[in-house]
Structure 1
């Protein structure tokens, strides 16, 4: 079951995640470090689930970060 979810997951690198969410790359990294967003990928290349990211943005998670907005 977990394998099926992994196959359907559409991940994007930090830069694209930030662009999609309308926030800075540092905000994406903060969300991941605070447990608001799951970090996928290898140690040298972070990737984030686009659907999960959009759900966070829609829920207003950006309001409590402090450095939202495009870079």
Structure 2
């Protein structure tokens, strides 16, 4: 079973979620979304992001 994260940079995370890049950053700073990557290069897990979006839509 493949447990590798599918991560994307902030701009693509925002596009996938239908929100702004600032919203992605706010979710991460508030602990709603885990930030991966290195300093200066934030990345976010698509599965985690889609779960947040689905919960907001429900």
Count how many residue pairs are aligned between Structure 1 and Structure 2: 56
**SS where residue 47 of structure 1 aligns?**
strand
Give me the TM-score of the superposition, normalised by structure 2: 0.91
The residue aligned with 1:53 is 49
Give me the TM-score of the superposition, normalised by structure 1: 0.75
The reply to whether residue 18 of structure 1 matches residue 19 of structure 2 is no
* Of 11, 34, 39, the match for 1:43: 39
The residue aligned with 1:69 is none
4+ residue segments displaced more than 3 Å:
none
Structure 2: any 5+ residue segments left out of the alignment? none
Structure 1: any 5+ residue segments left out of the alignment? 62-71
**SS where residue 32 of structure 1 aligns?**
helix
| CA-based RMSD | 1.4
